[in-house]
A and B are shown apart, each in its own frame.
Chain A
């Protein structure tokens, strides 16, 4: 890896399909060992960017470097790629599929088989390992594809819409497995249009819309930037009048207090404690990514 801490470097990449500008002057870097979110609505150009990373399509201009160099055949062995378009050999059994796809990544033998068994057990698919892929449900096939993506122990994992179409249980399972990959020091690029789904996972994000980069950076910094001046609270008993609170919105299970801009959330909490009110929930309201996205896009149009 040439001692380079950048897993992926993309500079000024553009791609045009006929009249459609699928990617325009996009630049970003992915640090080794982080989860990087590629976020945007459907048709924003996320998949185009990822395909250019994998050299499946060539950019019209710009430069892509993977692990410090332009993509080499040998580098493909340390990358795991789960494309947006899902598919497996229908007639092949689960184990045969996994061992063939792992072999194409240059790994085989008993260690690979053990890893496969471990992942199948983890996902509850061990019982189905000798079934043909066509006998599996769509969600199950998606789990198998995810296993195939990480079976060869790749350094860089690229997941295009990995949670799309999964039920909540499997979504949770996959998120846990992605978090574990980061703990093992892997770099993960995660593309999704379900922005709120990945807030908890991503360290940094690139938000794109209509082929253009609209927001790029550390997720918590971005959220702090777009913080609205309000807190969510839920208390026992009556709240009464609090200094610095302009108005109160009732959300059913909790209330939202809009602050006057001079009062900090900390001061609000202190006054609640002083008045001996039992606080069940107190949260500085940061907007969801989807709200930030809407705000950014609206800002662009104005």
Chain B
């Protein structure tokens, strides 16, 4: 078997058996299941099958508030005065009461009495009291339809139009922001995890002094490529587990959580996102492997790697510019720079698409960056690995690349 493949298989198997890897892989499905379970539990507990009618008392000093006593599961009970109301409250005949003062029409002030400790008046209670007051104020003078509109006057939908006054096809702003966000999050997470394993693996061999044995058996390039592919495969496996569990969860959730319905991703964007994901991942894996070989200690390499990982997320800071104006010069530049290309491209793909020349150039640059770092990385790796405890400076590194 090819030595690169032997290294790749070894790294993959070792990583798959790592406790930290197994825990991280299982974390997402477990969190989703637990989260969904809590959501279901709360729903069940919060919406008992037979909703009880809550009794709210009121004392009407202004007069005229004696109709529409039934409002969405709340019964409004008229009481003659504050003493009687307080008695009813203490004996728990009513949950709370409010007082409509004589000058209500000029001030609009209402006092509410409750035994509950609350940060503020619950929205539902406020809505019910409001509906009751509105109904009594205008109810007798208008049709039921007008009364209904008076209670809920606005149900707002916004529609985006282009320069020609045409309604734009994609009217799903949630999708435009959510897809790049989820993609970016997954890319960031997998880069962090897999690069952590790469750094750990290379630093371990450095600390273990195994490097000399390995280099007396294989070339630095075989070692680097084997490691990146093996750990890359482990990382992709992890992401696949996460993606599948999110998919399954989304399927279940969509049918049960009404707010999330109508959520879908165009297939072409999905394929390109996958391509960008794999390439972006490979690029960072190679960069991380090189960092792992330059750093003196695992900790040092780790802190450098976070700096690199942050550059992947750079487009996140410009998400509003990129999503709202996908052909902005900044968006084009970020699409072409290999480190920011994956995330930027996916942001643009999910809103308007990318011109073919930019897409082609971006992928080509990304691919050449991967090849370049593989090539230079093997040389730096070979030169740096044996310099235990001595960190090379930038001049040393460029010399290694030239000489090796």
Contact = CB atoms under 8 A, between A and B. Distances in A.
Contact of A104 (B3, B204, B207, B209): B3
B7 A85 contact: no
A106 interface: yes
Interface stretch (A3-11, A73-81, A170-178, A294-302): A73-81
Contacts of A79: 216
A254 interface: no
Given A101-B217, A104-B218, A89 B210 contact: yes
B218 A76 contact: yes
Contacts of A57: 386
B212 A83 contact: yes
A87 B207 contact: yes
Nearest to A97: B210
B381 to A, nearest CB: 12
A90 B218 contact: no
Interface range, B side: 20 to 34
- Interface of A, secondary structure class, is loop
A110 to B, nearest CB: 15
Contacts of A73: 218-219
B213 interface: yes
A81 B214 CA distance: 10
A106 B207 CA distance: 25
A51 B14 CA distance: 29
Given A57-B386, A87-B207, A88-B208, A103 B6 contact: yes
A90 to B, nearest CB: 7
A104 B209 CA distance: 16
A104 B210 contact: no
A81 B216 contact: yes
Interface range, A side: 20 to 34
B386 A56 contact: yes
B31 interface: no
A88 B212 CA distance: 11
A8 to B, nearest CB: 14
A91 B208 contact: no
A30 to B, nearest CB: 17
Interface in B249-277: none
A258 B207 CA distance: 53
A100 interface: yes
Contacts of B215: 54, 56
> Looking at B205, B208, B212, B214, which has the most chain A CB atoms within 10 Å of its CB?
B212
Contact of A76 (B207, B212, B216): B216
Contact of B213 (A77, A81, A90, A91): A81
Contacts of A90: 204, 208
Contacts of B7: 104
Interface string B172-209: 00000000000000000000000000000000110111
A100 B214 CA distance: 10
A85 B212 contact: yes
A89 B14 CA distance: 10
A148 interface: yes
Contacts of A81: 212-213, 216
A58 B386 CA distance: 12
Interface string B1-24: 101001100100010000000000
B213 A101 contact: yes
A124 B218 CA distance: 30
B390 to A, nearest CB: 10
A103 B3 CA distance: 8
Contacts of A51: 212, 386
Contact of A56 (B204, B212, B403): B212
A122 interface: no
Nearest to A54: B216
Given A57-B386, A104-B6, A87 B217 contact: no
A105 B222 CA distance: 13
Contacts of B210: 87-89
B216 A87 contact: no
A77 B216 CA distance: 9
A92 interface: yes
A83 B1 CA distance: 25
Nearest to A149: B213
A85 B219 CA distance: 19
A225 to B, nearest CB: 35
Interface in A115-174: 145, 148
A189 to B, nearest CB: 13
A181 to B, nearest CB: 17
Nearest to B207: A87
A139 to B, nearest CB: 17
A89 B208 contact: yes
A12 interface: no
A56 B3 contact: no
Contacts of B1: 103, 108
B207 A91 contact: no
Contacts of A88: 208, 210
Nearest to B212: A83
Contacts of A105: 217
Nearest to B226: A104
Contact of A148 (B208, B213, B403): B213
Contacts of A58: 403
A87 B208 contact: yes
A57 B215 CA distance: 11
Interface in A180-197: none
Contact of A87 (B14, B209, B219): B209
Interface in B347-404: 386, 403
5 contacts: A51-B386, A76-B218, A81-B212, A83-B213, A104-B217
Given A83-B216, A104-B3, A106-B3, 20 more contacts: A51-B212, A54-B215, A56-B212, A56-B216, A73-B219, A76-B217, A81-B213, A83-B212, A85-B209, A86-B209, A87-B207, A88-B210, A89-B210, A91-B14, A92-B14, A103-B1, A103-B6, A104-B214, A108-B1, A148-B213
